[in-house]
Chains A and B, each alone.
Chain A
Amino acid sequence: MTGAAAIIIALVQLVLFVFLAPVLIGVIRQVRARLEGRAGSGIWQPWRDVRKLLAKNPVRAAGSSWMLAAGPVTLLVSSLLLCALLPLVGTLPLPLIPSDLFVIVSVMLIGVVALALVGLDAGTAFGGMGSSRHMTVAALVEPTLLLAVYALSIPAGTSTLSLIVETRLANPAVIISPVSLLAMVALAIAIMAETSRLPVDNPSTHLELTMLHEAMVLEASGRDLAWLELGSWLKLAALLGLLSNLIVPWGIVTDFSVLGVIVGVGTVTVKVLLLGVVLSVGEVFLAKARLFRVPELLAGSFALGLLAVTASYLVA
């Protein structure tokens, strides 16, 4: 029974996030445009972009391999897996594959690797540059990401994310404990770096000096580009969903009921979009950090994570 309920919730999460992710990007761009005094293209533009890209003939460079076709699909599937596994609408774990922290991170890394290989395969200087920077950042983000969630896992005594969220729901004092706050800041920085947002990467430029993500997708076109974009958006939406459920766990479904699922869908949508607005407003006031300042940022966030873990052992 719980198995069937968990599968239904996973399906709901998938459908919701595939719909929500482009809207989230649309909202982020629109808020930013308005704050900068531009009219903006409306919140549905990312959806229209995907439709347009799917209706185009992809152009691939002569001499590129199957990776240019398979990589984007891999990235998309890895992001879809994230949406199915993470506790977004509900915390019911799927049978045999709980939302284990380490599994989640590895799933994300599959997408990271697929994107980096796509960047390399085109055989251009830009693609290689983006790929190299992307992997360097990814390598440095991983310790922060794992330590931050490790710190969050200690009060719950498990590395399963849905149980961590349930613990925080049952005992809200955990959320505002100093350890949890430290870990959340570390996690937020890691997620910003992982999803190529400011100050690590500037998602809205094509300027050589600042590009990470955009450099890798330069050679992709048509549906290849559509998969890459959709995959990245889904990842951002899913991670923001996780972050918001860790900060404000209320509304998430713990026992299956139709009304509960509707409430869960509504709250997670609101939470993700609100966090998107916050992100967008924050990005207006941020400049991109120099590439070689990024390790300092990540080292700072790593220190916070380590502090959180050791503190929770020695103080609590």
Chain B
Amino acid sequence: MTALEAGMLSQTLLLVVAIAAALATPLSWRSRVSGTFCTLLAAAGIVTGAIALAGGTGSLSIPTALPMDPLALSPDRLGGLVMVVVSVVGVLASLFGIGSARVASASRTAWLSMAVFLFGMQLVPAATDVVSFLLFWEIMTLGSTALLLAHHATRGTVASALVWYSAMSQLSFFFVLAGFAMLAGLAGGTGFADLATIDPFTWQASVAFLLLLLGFGGKAELVPLHVWVPRVLPEAPGHVAAAMSGAMVNIGVYGALLVVVRLLPDGPAWWGVLIMALGGVSALYGILQASVASNLKVLLAYSTTENMGLVFLGLGASVLLRADNATAAADAALVAALLLMLSHAAFKSTLFLGAGAVARAAGEMNLDRLGGLGSRMPWTAAAFGAAAMGAAALPVTSGFVAEWMLLQALIHGSRVDGEVVSVAASVAMPLAVAVIALTAGLALLTFVKAYGIAFLARPRSQEAKQAREVPVIMRIPLAIGALLVIGLGVLPGPLAVAIGGAVGPEFTPDVRTIGLAGIDARGIDAVLDPITFVVLAGLLLVPVLIVLFLSARRHPTRTSPLPWAGGGSRLRPRMQYTATSYAEPLVRVFDDVLRPSRDVEVTHAGESRYLVERVHVEQSVSDVVETRLYRPVLNLMQRAGILARRAQNGSIHRYLSYSFVALLVVLIVVSL
């Protein structure tokens, strides 16, 4: 038995133990025991994935009673990479769950399905054939659905969110199933090795590609299949949301990678354009919605759509450039897409865990009622701040390195040796750069808002005033997550090299380490060494600090209970800007896209038209995709349902006549 096989077996064993633990332990210490086993399960995933990433081999067969090939699990290097990413998030979420899961989220169902969910996610990238891929895909979906279901007793809104989630995940599953079925029919086998022999330039391959793109895009929360995200993630507790948004979306990305890297590499250029368009629209739409959201978890949920959009933008650019023979830039774009995925996993899980900590401490997710948490919860604030910097792609975080790589790949893509590669590329690349730039700008605003309104300034409600820092067991995963965000940003070189190895042998990016751990992308002639950068900034800081200390020694700071306050003397916390007012200029600028509904109600004092007693403002931004695309379909289905109800009035005579007609139809059809 090889190390890889042992790793996969140990995951299965740990799943059984974790399920048993969830069922057998009493509530008072269930979170501690089950959380520990879930952590171990995810840790086993990290080890197994690392072995696969390092090139370990081994295969685990699952015999079935069905007349087909036995299911085989054998992750390649790319699968290993995704397994590591998913499992790291799993460890963070489980650790956090030990401290945070209480009452409903510590129920037997919750911990049991958490283990199943983690197990499913960790083994999807190990699948080597369609059937086992779909099997673990469904285990993952089932686990996450049950996990959400565990909270329905305490919160009324969970049920409706869950309906959306189930419907959308089954829609995704349907697309993936149909796509794979089409490919399997073409190839005459269900193994991924068989599927890889298909010629991507047939129309059947293109139809299968479209179906798979929709299916995997739905899991990766892309527009227009993202509608479940802003409903489901706010209902989930912090650690569940972190696992779903930090890890599960990566499985969607893995599916897309599987298609464009392993199964159907060298596809036609229009595939790339289509993926880029899907990604670009998702990125812009996601960040626009995130920037105007006032609920912290809704904000983070929409920002996931944005980040996944960027990942797909990179993937699409890679396909397009490869079709245009700009191989070096194509490979760089692929590495960038994977870097984006990794960095997103790190910062988004930290952000959701931070949101979970805030929810526990203040019992409030509405940014308009938070504030001043930085001084009350310094650990959470520091971790959330570092992760928010990653999400805003500021140096020197992982998000910055990833976006830098993507932009470099794009601007070097349109020309090879001074020749324009294709008209499509020379229009798509500038547009993509503009989309990324606008996305980055809006992400900056979004996360300045999220951090600034929640953690800075003064508390806007009593709950926020009484918030306390979370216990140590919850701070540990927050700290690890924040360190990952910074660490991957400061030492990106080895990571990029590992990614370069993982996408081989079809893709061979020329990425090396330079300096201490910087990236040297030879193919596109781009160099970035974050450590030198940090050192330079540190050197520049020295003289500033010297002047600062000299000045501070002679002129110490005074604290005034009544600052200048814009000239006013009755300054109350309610007079501060809130998240809603912070985004107000943006709502106006993007009025046509966001279509906010605003309701202003003015109560006058007495008879006067000029003396106002109170002003009540209500603003809500709805999801245009939901109201314009899904609502009509749902309404149509509902109308069809009402019509169908007329056919069933409970009368036995009518049912008998239906059977009779049906029988007649069958007989006529048979006799034809």
Contact = CB atoms under 8 A, between A and B. Distances in A.
Contacts of A73: 541, 544-545, 548
Contacts, number: 250
A44 interface: no
A52 to B, nearest CB: 11
Interface stretch (A28-36, A91-99, A239-247): A91-99
Interface string A99-133: 01011001101101100110011111111110111
A139 B536 contact: no
A136 B444 CA distance: 9
B506 interface: no
A157 B547 contact: no
Given A123-B576, A153-B411, A295-B589, A141 B456 contact: no
A138 B411 contact: no
B410 to A, nearest CB: 9
A188 interface: no
A84 B458 CA distance: 37
A67 B373 CA distance: 13
Contacts of A14: 540
A260 interface: no
Interface in B518-540: 518, 525-529, 532-533, 536-537, 540
B452 A121 contact: yes
Contact of A135 (B445, B456, B537, B559): B445
Interface in B383-420: 392-395, 400, 403-404, 407-408, 411, 414-415, 418, 420
Interface on chain A toward B: helix, strand, loop, or mixed SS?
helix
Interface string B93-130: 00000000000000000000000000000000000000
Contact of B448 (A65, A95, A116, A222): A116
B563 A138 contact: no
Contact of A80 (B403, B540, B565): B540
B186 interface: no
B563 A96 contact: no
Nearest to B388: A113
A106 B559 contact: no
B560 A62 contact: yes
Interface in B108-166: none
Q: Which range holds the interface residue count of chain B?
A: 35 or more
B567 to A, nearest CB: 9
B377 to A, nearest CB: 12
A55 B585 contact: no
Interface residues of A, number: 82
A2 interface: no
A168 interface: no
A124 B585 CA distance: 18
A21 to B, nearest CB: 14
A97 B536 contact: yes
Contacts of B456: 64-65, 67, 117, 120-121, 123
A146 B433 contact: yes
B279 interface: no
Interface of A: 14, 54-65, 67, 69, 73, 76-77, 80-81, 84, 94-98, 100, 102-103, 106-107, 109-110, 112-113, 116-117, 120-129, 131-133, 135-136, 138-143, 145-147, 150, 153-154, 157-159, 218-219, 222-223, 227, 291-292, 295, 302, 305-306, 309-310, 313-314
